[in-house]
Chain A
Amino acid sequence: MALVPYRGRTMPATTLSSLRDEMNDLFSRFWTSATEPFGLAEWSPSLDVSETDEAVVVHAEIPGIDPKELDISVVGDTLTIRGEKGDEAEQSGRTYHRVERRYGSFTRSLVLPAAVEPDQVTATAKQGVLEIRLPKSQESRAKRIEVTGA
């Protein structure tokens, strides 16, 4: 006779355990919202990361943020972007009809795919798009190895 998992054998057990699974799932979804992939604050900028032979390039959408308010650091292989989107909504004398922009401070950290030269990292912000260019260190640049034939 084939081995049947205990849960599958009797109806009450199946129903109860699936109920328990659903409750667990509900709680886990409640605590880790899909909009907070890193368990961070309510808002953080969206990032695009690309890698070329020479550099790792990070683009972030930061509309309305003064670039001077950003704090960008590279420690080891981790890039961290910190900043704050000022909450103008708190000012009085305003009747709001729509509040869709999201405010608050944020921190985003990213493990870089390759070793970079921290001294040569540049960051520019244009029209609310931040570009961080992290040149790769000599060791992590792709080297082409010639195969010599006998």
Chain B
Amino acid sequence: MTKPTDVSVENPFEPTEPPESYFVPAADVYETADGLTLLAEMPGVKPDGLTVTVEENVLVLRGDPAAADEAGELLLKEFEVGPFYRAFRLPADYDTQKIDAKLKQGLLTLHLPKSERLKPRRIEVTVDE
């Protein structure tokens, strides 16, 4: 069994059909007493353009931003609009059935609760007299 500290969060992981070209969203991953939280920046992605899948402990995020109306003459271009894609390998300690995903202002917040079997439990000792 892997310890919670052994969270291996893999960088772009190949399978599960990434788009032909994509941006890798910047992500923060942290662990608290009750689970794992992942924040990923996907500006321009609406909830209906986002898919989050978990398959064999690989979490895949894909976001397709709505096309921006680029009218007129472009004077400065510092960012481009395109699909976001990223995959993370999850440790077995999290309950992937209970992932909670929120998308607000282009920031995806995923929360994975710790499996019930890993939560510390106090075992009452009954004294049999």
Contact = CB atoms under 8 A, between A and B. Distances in A.
Given A48-B79, A50-B70, A128-B106, A97 B26 contact: no
B87 interface: no
Nearest to B36: A97
A98 interface: yes
B45 interface: yes
Contacts of A93: 32-33
B9 A128 contact: no
A66 B78 CA distance: 21
Given A49-B74, A50-B71, A97-B7, A64 B105 contact: yes
A94 B31 CA distance: 5
Interface residues of B, number: 36
A108 B110 CA distance: 30
A102 interface: yes
Contact of B5 (A55, A95, A99): A95
A125 B105 contact: yes
A93 B77 CA distance: 40
A113 B76 CA distance: 11
B29 A50 contact: no
A50 B26 CA distance: 26
B18 interface: no
Given A48-B79, A52-B71, A63-B43, A98 B28 contact: yes
A63 B28 contact: no
A62 B43 contact: yes
Interface string B7-39: 101000000000000000011111111000001
Contacts of A53: 72
A136 to B, nearest CB: 11
A57 B74 CA distance: 9
Contacts of B9: 97-98
Given A47-B79, A93-B32, A113-B75, 6 more contacts: A63-B105, A64-B107, A96-B28, A101-B41, A102-B26, A127-B44
10 contacts: A47-B79, A48-B74, A48-B77, A52-B71, A53-B72, A63-B106, A63-B107, A94-B30, A94-B32, A129-B65
